[in-house]
Amino acid sequence: MKFFFRKLHLWVSIPFGLVITVTCFTGALLVFEDDITLLSYRHAAHVIPQGEPLPLAQLMESVENSLPGAEITGVTIPSSKSTAYKVTVSNPNRATYYVNQYTGTVNGKYERLEFFRTTLRLHRWLLDRNPGNAGIFWGKRIVGASTISFVVILLTGLALWYPKNRKMLRNRLKIVFAKGKNRFWYDLHVAGGFYALLLLLAMALTGLTWSYRWYSDAFYGIVAGNDSHSGGRNVVSAVSGATPQAGGRNEAANEPVGKYTPWQKAVEAVIVENPDFARVVLSKETVSVYDSEWGNSRACDRYEFNPSTGTLETVQRYADNAKRSKARGWVYSVHVGSWGGFFSRLLAFCAAILGATLPLTGYYFWIRRIYKK
């Protein structure tokens, strides 16, 4: 049986190895995209706390004055007091700006770094572009086939790794540096592949949901079943009846009602209810609150508010979401390694780097064996 697994492991690896290396390496780079981007925009993203942030209504009016003609469509409020707000505008073009929440100053424009745009296209499509109905999306097809092959390679590699006794087990768990490069490359391939196996399998199996529709349907059918429940919609009566500062109605005739006053009331009400938020994302009629860096990184409670008064009207709790909706968030979190904060992303980065080396070390020993013969 091992003879069959060895042949399958080899001949599946040869045609797809380089694509697997590219996919794993680019995936490793993307793991820390947000951190690297934040460092790149540090001059704009970092602010010095100066007491309490400006009221949101005043802050938005300041942004409008700084960007004449811009129509503000959303705001992202981080929990960190030293990180600037992100304000999204739609005119003349859709763009996002870092805004100092203490002074109202527009610090600079936020854009995804071109390096990571290219890295993502390389990771998902080998720089190919979707031809639509004009042809076959070869880049996506090749990456999908390579990912399936990678699953086969990992499983056959595990079958070949399985030791016969304790002594062999000890040898196959060690990476030795002091016995020459050949021993090091061999240990990196055998032991390194074993240590990264579970994470690589998880990333490959979740990544396939973006490659094939049939696989995505089957995967979510197994994980979430036939759950068609769309999640409950509950009236937020307790919040809407709170004081005006917490987002309730204020009927005072002499209170000035600005364009963004309803936004301010809605955000304040949500923060009162969720004081330990990780970030709050506001659009024209909704406020989404993300509570933690652990678990499903896309999990949020979504509030809808009255755009005229700022009164919270309904809330879609994450706990009430359909199983399939939750599963999609978990699939993304597992694939990018964000399920456990910085620690899990570091593990995902190391596993992806090891995954990128596996085909290269495999090619090395295969070519070396041919050369000896």
DSSP annotation string for 155-182: HHHHHHH--SSHHHHHHHT---SSS-HH
Does any domain span residue 39?
no
What's the average model confidence in pLDDT over 95-115? 96
Does any domain span residue 140?
yes
CB 14 within 8 A of CB 359: no
List Cα–Cα distances, 80 to 46, 122, 277, in angstroms: 10, 33, 10
Based on the domain organization, do 92 and 196 belong to the same domain?
no
Does any domain span residue 264?
yes
What's the average model confidence in pLDDT over 18-38? 97
CA atoms within 13 A on the CB side of 201: 13
* pLDDT above 90: residue 362: yes
Dihedral sign from CA coordinates of 239, 261, 268, 34: positive
pLDDT of res. 253:
38
Does any domain span residue 274?
yes
The helix/strand/coil state of 112 is coil
Based on the domain organization, do 175 and 138 belong to the same domain?
yes
- Considering 110, 138, 159, which residue would you say is the last residue of a domain? 110
Give the Cβ contact number of residue 343 at 10 Å.
12
Exposure string of 190-211, with b = 16+ CB inside 10 Å and e = fewer, is bbbbbebbebbbbbbbbbbbbb
**pLDDT tens digits along 59-102:** 999 999 999 888 999 999 999 999 999 999 987 789 999 999 99
Query: Could you tell me what percent of the chain has a pLDDT over 70?
Result: 91
Based on the domain organization, do 273 and 336 belong to the same domain?
no
Based on the domain organization, do 244 and 208 belong to the same domain?
no
pLDDT of res. 258:
77
The 8-class DSSP code of residue 76 comes to E
How far out from the chain centre does Cα 144 lie? Answer: 19
More confident call, 239 vs 205: 205
pLDDT of res. 293:
66
What's the average model confidence in pLDDT over 47-66? 94
What's the average model confidence in pLDDT over 175-200? 94
Distance CA 208, CA 146 (A): 10
Does any domain span residue 42?
no
Mean pLDDT of the chain: 90
- Considering 95, 110, 125, which residue would you say is the last residue of a domain? 110
Based on the domain organization, do 312 and 176 belong to the same domain?
no
Distance CA 125, CA 127 (A): 5
**pLDDT tens digits along 216-257:** 999 999 988 776 544 444 434 345 444 444 333 444 434 445
pLDDT of res. 372:
84
Based on the domain organization, do 251 and 168 belong to the same domain?
no
Lowest mean pLDDT among 9-18, 78-87, 255-264, 353-362: 255-264
Based on the domain organization, do 301 and 314 belong to the same domain?
yes
DSSP annotation string for 303-315: EEE-TTT--EEEE
What's the average model confidence in pLDDT over 119-132? 95
CB 244 within 8 A of CB 41: no
Based on the domain organization, do 100 and 172 belong to the same domain?
no
pLDDT of res. 92:
76
- Considering 59, 85, 110, which residue would you say is the last residue of a domain? 110
Q: Domain of residue 191: give its range.
A: 2-34+115-226+332-372
**For position 89, which CATH number holds?**
3.10.450
Distance CA 245, CA 250 (A): 9
Based on the domain organization, do 211 and 122 belong to the same domain?
yes
* pLDDT above 70: residue 56: yes
The helix/strand/coil state of 129 is coil
**pLDDT tens digits along 266-303:** 999 999 999 989 999 999 899 999 987 678 999 999 99
Based on the domain organization, do 255 and 315 belong to the same domain?
yes
Strand partners, 102: none
The helix/strand/coil state of 321 is coil
pLDDT of res. 282:
96
Does any domain span residue 101?
yes
Does any domain span residue 54?
yes
Based on the domain organization, do 222 and 300 belong to the same domain?
no
pLDDT of res. 294:
78
More confident call, 146 vs 258: 146
Based on the domain organization, do 139 and 19 belong to the same domain?
yes
Task: Supply 237's token pair.
Answer: 């009566």
Does any domain span residue 40?
no
**pLDDT tens digits along 169-186:** 999 999 999 989 999 999
* pLDDT above 50: residue 198: yes
Distance CA 30, CA 25 (A): 9
Residue 257 φ then ψ, to 5°? -110, 105
If one counts the domains in the chain, the total is 3
